[in-house]
Structure 1
Amino acid sequence: MEENPRERMADAALSSELLFTYRGALYPKMRCSPETFQVLENFVARRDDVMLVSYPKCGTNWCVQILSDLAATVSSSKDVKPVFDILEFGASEKYKIMESSPSPRVYATHFHYDNLPKSVFQSGTKKLVILRNPKDSAVSLYHFHNKNPALPNYSDWNDFFKDFMCGKVVWGSYFDHAIAWNKHMDEEGCLIITYEDLKENLVRGVQQIADFFQFSLSEEQIRFIAARATFDAMKARANETHGKIGQALFRKGDVGDWKNYFSEAQSREMDAKFDECLVGTKLGAKLKYDVYCKT
């Protein structure tokens, strides 16, 4: 079908209304602002902060659930519940509130490694990083665009795929994120896990995360937290925990849904991109691309 130039103009105008560019990446205006990002550069991280780093739609809310439950379980005061936040969301005034928040503070970010506040590294903050195979990540982000009023809609998967492959989506290129973490995955205070490994054995994953943050819990507590973090359990509570956006956050939670969207040509294109960026690397092996992304 011949492309309608007016539709393309309308899409571009909508994108301009909803997104802004900061240091080469796109961000949603309804959630973020350049002013907040500038203040965030001076954010004071703590050594005992519980920090999650993820590319969008790679398991962020899943790990937030796990981390929040872990932190709450080990909290010394039953009257003080750990406060969760997406670090780059909202107005900059919130950082003053965070300064006075008790430890452990639990927060997540979608920022690229190079854009994280410098104090995160200076303070020795531990960073849990979750990554997901790029094909499922792309499909999940495509649907999130179409269900989230803060983001432009895509009427056609093919258009989204083109933008995803060149990094013209929110928070930038998946592959740029992955390449950066591959360089730093062996640094002290960094644990990289995958969405697929959590799906394979959630109890083992929760225990691994607890051990990394030195949370001492019983086997029964670990299993209880894992049960609350299953996809079905989280989707059932989505409206309660996330409000109207809840159903957009929890769609399928499957591994391999990409096969319902990728054409053979698109699959080959992403295979080549993965080979270019990550084949032969430690992170590339951890992602098990041949297992999860080859038909």
Structure 2
Amino acid sequence: MNQDQNQLSTVFHVTHWKAGSQWLHRILRDIAPSRIVDPQLFERQFLDTPLVTGAVYPTVYVTKEQFYSVNLPANYRKFVVIRDLRDTLVSAYFSIRYSHAIIHKSLAEWRQRLESISLEDGLLMLMEEWLPLSANIQRSWVDSGETFIRYEDLLHGDTEILQDVLIRQCDIGVSQDTVEKIILKNRFENLTNGRKPGDEDRMAHERKGISGDWQNYFTPLVTDEFNRLFGRLLVETGYQLAEPGIR
């Protein structure tokens, strides 16, 4: 590593699954391609490997406790992104069932099960078995009182928020004009050959690109079970709880 990189901030994008992590991964890779440390299964690149000073770590899926358990570089910066857990669940359902590469046996098992049950049962199953990991990440950062960014706010203010986060807060070492051009390049329409946000392609990783999509899929049973398990966390992260027994 050259001397200049040793003087740069080490940047961590902390998040949970299905919270726009691959969108932000592409943005960070375009901004600092030579500094990216590729994500690995089970966060081995962060938890099990010495950290690289001056590098950029996208999609670090860890709790606050896990984050501070490692030997962090002296000049590190981080930003935390979360998403409405209901949209997180719906996005996971379609990703696991249709579009996600099978990178671990658990994904293959979930896909096989989802193909044999109804959408409602599939959401209930993933709510019990898959969603708690993302909820635990959210809860740890919310309980800590540290600041976080909501995915929904990024959808409507990506340039303003990310320029502030990446340039002012994280000191990523790239000009404002460059960051803006890269953000615009990676917007939903540009990544999907002109498909508008809300136009669904279930087989694509960029499936729909909107917030609030959970309302199209949650049944009263799913709503009630979600409220029971995650309703308090939903409110604590600034989202509005749905009325019991309705979508």
Instruction: Using structure 2 for the length normalisation, give the TM-score.
Output: 0.72
* RMSD over aligned Cα atoms: 3.3
Provide the rounded CA distance (Å) in 1 between the counterparts of 2:119 and 2:71: 37
Distance 1:106 1:90, change over 3 A: closer
Match of 2:218 in 1: 262
Q: Which of 10, 35, 59 is residue 82 of structure 1 equivalent to? A: 35
Match of 1:119 in 2: 70
Match of 1:250 in 2: 206
Q: Which of 42, 45, 68 is residue 29 of structure 2 equivalent to? A: 68
Shift of 1:269: 3.1
Structure 1: runs of 5 or more not aligned? 1-45, 73-80, 238-246
Provide the rounded CA distance (Å) in 2 between the counterparts of 1:84 and 1:157: 36
Equivalent pairs, count: 216
Matched ranges for 1:122-271 at <5 A: 123=74, 125-147=76-98, 148=100, 149-150=102-103, 151=107, 152-153=110-111, 154-155=114-115, 156-166=118-128, 168-169=129-130, 172-186=132-146, 191-210=147-166, 211-215=168-172, 217-236=174-193, 248-271=204-227
Distance 1:278 1:90, change over 3 A: closer
Instruction: Using structure 1 for the length normalisation, give the TM-score.
Output: 0.61
Deviation larger for 250-259 or 117-126: 117-126
Shift of 1:261: 1.1
Provide the rounded CA distance (Å) in 2 between the counterparts of 1:89 and 1:274: 24
Match of 2:16 in 1: 55
Q: List per-residue Cα deviations over 1:27-78 (Å, max 9, x = no partner).
A: xxxxxxxxxxxxxxxxxxx993221122111110111122223335xxxxxx
Question: SS at 1:269's partner residue?
Answer: helix
Contact 2:89 2:126 in 1 (8 A): yes
Distance 1:258 1:91, change over 3 A: closer
**Percent pairwise identity:** 21
Q: Which of 98, 106, 111 is residue 57 of structure 2 equivalent to? A: 106
Provide the rounded CA distance (Å) in 2 between the counterparts of 1:71 and 1:277: 34
Higher Cα radius of gyration? 1
